[in-house]
Structures are given as C-alpha cells and as structure tokens.
Amino acid sequence: MQQKVLITDCVDAPGLITKITGVCYAHGLNITKNSEFVDHAQGRFFMRTQLEGKIDDGQLLADLDGVLPAQRHIKLVAAGTKRIVVMVTKEAHCLGDLLMKAYYGALDVEIAAIIGNYDTLKPLADKFDIPFYTVSHEGLSRHEHEQQMLEIIAKYQVDYLVLAKYMRVLTPEFVAQYPNTIINIHHSFLPAFIGASPYRQAWERGVKIIGATAHFVNNCLDEGPIIKQDVIHVDHSYSAEELAKCGRDVEKSVLSKALQLVLQEAVIVYGNKTVVF
C-alpha cells in the first residue's frame, strides 16, 4: 500500500475537486485527507490530497493533465522521511531542538549533516553522531566559501536545507540551486525589523510583542515566502538582551513547526506567498 501526497496548483475553474477526485477514484485510490483553497483575488485553486493504494505516478499525472486547466502545476510526492542538511553559525538553540526532535521521532527527518562557518557547535553534533563540517569564511570570497559548502551538500542529495541561525546572507547563485527548498528562521516578526540586530531594533521601537518568522529564502533579504510565525508578549521593562533571550524559545518552536509543515508537503509556494494546509 503506497502513500503519497498530490499537490494541485492551477487556474480556478468550476468542478475541479470533482475532476481531481474522480481521476483518483478511477485509479482505485483511497483519499485519506483532502484540503483545498481558492485565492479569489488571483483566480488560483490549490489542493492537497493524501492518497493510498497502488499508484502509477506517470499515468495518474497524465490523466490529471487531461482534466485540469492549461495553466497548472501538479506533483506527486511520496510520504516518508526527508533528508536535510542544517547550516549553523554559533547559536545552539535551534539546532539542538531539531536534533532532539529528529532523534525522538517528533520530526520525520534525517539530518544528514551539519555545516558551520565556525566549529562552535561541533560538540553538539557529535553527541548525536551527525557529521559536522566546519567551512570557515575567513580569507575566502563569498563565492569561494559557498562553493565549498555546495560541494559538501551535493554529497547528500538533500530534500531541504535548513538555516538554523546561520548568520550569513546567501548569494543569488547559491539560492538559485535550491529554489523554495532553503528554510530560514528569522528572529523577528517579519516584515518588521529585517536584517541585523532585530531585537535591538524592537527594543529601540518599544514594541510590546516580539516574534519569529520561518520563511523560504529568496534573493531579497528576509523577504521570502513565509511559512510560520509566532509571537510572545513583552513590556517596557525588558532590555534588548532580555528580548533576545525570550525570543530564542519562539525561534526554535517556529522553525521546527515550519519544517514539520514542509516535510508533510503542507506548504504550497506561489509568488511570494504560501498556502499552508
């Protein structure tokens, strides 16, 4: 019994749910869960369908092509464990949370390797027997540094890259190799306080909530499609350092929840937005 997720993204039209489920029924497939959304402003239809049965991928997709509008994007993804590489700098809280959840099965993911531009977090990786690669940026151009990382990543045939407080901006050339597959945690409730030192920016502004945002990386700093956000309440008595300390709990929670959604194929990117089922 195979289990797969069918993702449909197409121009909205009457009867799409019936057409898609009808094709699945004709293939003898059981639909265990189905979610759909219509963006009326864009005239766009999205659907996530969990299937089980004996699935002929090629024929199923061909039959769906025959009933869907011309402007469409459909994909069929196997359920099961995905492989990631995590990129880090010095902060341990997000990496530690991912390692623990992966180890105990709260995240259905294989952390294949960890890459850091410092070796600060290698002892943490060693405790979980995860390969850790230190790729220092010192004395290298940005291109040279990223090329060394790309050579390591290529060994693992990853499904996603996760930036767990990786504190360097990736070049467009790097991002282009992994479109909509690089997940970043930003320590701010975007679009507020982008870039460096967001907690100090928030403190200087006197905010009463702080938050974190997990998003896909694109070529605009901290402006990629948002996957998950959350906030906590603060007040005037917090220093910038205390805001940062409180924010770490939000950051690790938001990152792991965002990764979980992505692993479950519950996130559809369109334009610079997402549909999250």
Catalytic residues: 222
Determine the Cα–Cα distance for residues 5 and 275; give it in Å rounded to an integer: 15
Determine the Cα–Cα distance for residues 228 and 248; give it in Å rounded to an integer: 15
Determine the Cα–Cα distance for residues 58 and 220; give it in Å rounded to an integer: 36
Q: How many CB atoms lie within 10 A of CB 271?
A: 9
For residue 170, the 8-state DSSP code is: P
| Closest to 260 (Cα-Cα) out of 125, 157, 35, 109 | 109
Strands (E), 124-197: 132-134, 160-163, 182-186
- Which residue in the block uniquely carries the two structure tokens 């290529």? 154
Determine the Cα–Cα distance for residues 191 and 170; give it in Å rounded to an integer: 19
Determine the Cα–Cα distance for residues 169 and 130; give it in Å rounded to an integer: 24
For residue 159, the 8-state DSSP code is: S
**Contact 93/251 with Cβ under 8 angstroms?**
yes
